[in-house]
């Protein structure tokens, strides 16, 4: 069964949002949430991670190009604006498409179908890096550079094989959901490890290469840890 497309539209003009709502209903298979306050829309994007964002550029409180810079890497977006001079910069930000207001339903449909093709391709592509937010910037971390990940209250610390770490405000489950299951393993309520980094293990601990770091295995994870690591 084909999944519905989860979308968010951000535009400070209510009529523009109404047009997008009507076109989404006509297209079908789209779950749309609209925001006339850009900052609220951005907060929801960071929380719900939609498949696709319709984004106006020239808004009163913030420029849509600024929002595009902060979107999660896996989030596709289409600019919807009356200002054609932003088209080049929009495509430089890897926008799926650029809809120049007022746009027809046919042009809208072409843009959405283009986004659907990209989203479908991304779903079948194993990611090579993890994108997280550190302070106000997006940081890309190669998956091969992740040694282990540790939960620290409202933050998560990502330890790198190349040295150092990245601290991001999120929870361990959210990070784990972004990682390929075959490469990472949760061993404790506070730890996820790169399977390739494990040099020895038991029901109570794992030891990692590079640093010889020893991490505890939680009792509720012990059976799964033994089962998966014994197959490696």
pLDDT (tens digit per residue) in 45-56: 888 889 999 999
- Domain locations in the chain as residue ranges: 5-123, 129-229
Confidence (pLDDT) at 167: 94
Q: Which residues does 152 contact at the CB level (< 8 Å), separation at least 6? A: 167
Confidence (pLDDT) at 127: 66
Please tell me whether the peptide bond between 102 and the residue prior to it is cis, using omega within 30 degrees of 0: yes
5-123 placed in CATH 3.30.565.10:
no
Q: Which residues does 73 contact at the CB level (< 8 Å), separation at least 6? A: 131, 138, 140
Give the model's confidence band at 231: pLDDT under 50 very low, under 70 low, under 90 confident, else very high.
confident
Tell me the CATH number for domain 129-229.
2.40.50.1020
Residue 224 tokens read as: 């799964």
What's the gap between Cα 72 and its chain centre? Answer: 4
Other CB atoms within a 10 A radius of the CB of residue 56 amount to 26
What's the gap between Cα 176 and its chain centre? Answer: 12
Confidence (pLDDT) at 1: 45
Judged against a pLDDT cut of 70, whether residue 126 lies above it is answered with no
- With pLDDT > 90 as the criterion, what percentage of the chain qualifies? 58
Least confident among 45-49, 102-106, 113-117: 45-49
Could you give the CA distance from residue 170 to residue 158 in angstroms, rounded to a whole number?
Answer: 11
Are 5-123 and 129-229 equal in CATH topology?
no
Could you give the CA distance from residue 91 to residue 183 in angstroms, rounded to a whole number?
Answer: 33
| pLDDT, mean of residues 119-131 | 76
| pLDDT, mean of residues 77-106 | 87
Could you give the CA distance from residue 206 to residue 47 in angstroms, rounded to a whole number?
Answer: 32
pLDDT in tens, 189-202: 999 999 999 999 99
Question: Between residues 211 and 192, which one has the greater pLDDT?
Answer: 192
């Amino acid at each position: 069964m084909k999944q519905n497309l989860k979308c968010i539209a951000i535009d400070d003009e209510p009529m523009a949002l109404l047009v997008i709502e009507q076109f989404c209903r006509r297209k079908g298979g789209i779950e749309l949430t609209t925001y006339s306050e850009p900052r609220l829309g951005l907060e929801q994007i960071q929380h719900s991670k939609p498949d696709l964002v319709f984004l106006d550029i020239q808004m009163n409180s913030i420029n849509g190009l600024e929002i595009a810079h902060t979107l999660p890497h896996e989030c596709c977006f289409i600019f919807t604006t009356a200002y054609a001079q932003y088209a080049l910069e929009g495509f430089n930000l890897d926008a799926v498409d650029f809809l120049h207001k007022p746009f027809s339903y046919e042009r809208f449909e072409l843009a959405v179908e283009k986004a659907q093709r990209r989203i479908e391709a991304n779903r079948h592509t194993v990611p090579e890096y993890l994108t997280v937010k550190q302070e106000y910037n997006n940081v890309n971390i190669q998956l091969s550079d992740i040694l282990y990940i540790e939960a620290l209250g409202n933050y998560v610390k990502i330890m790198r094989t190349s040295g150092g770490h990245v601290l991001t405000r999120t929870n361990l489950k959210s990070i784990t959901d972004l990682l390929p299951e075959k490469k990472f393993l949760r061993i404790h309520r506070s730890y996820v490890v790169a399977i390739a980094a494990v040099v020895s293990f038991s029901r109570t601990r794992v030891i990692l290469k590079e640093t010889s770091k020893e991490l505890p295995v939680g009792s509720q994870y012990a059976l799964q840890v033994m089962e998966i690591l014994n197959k490696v």
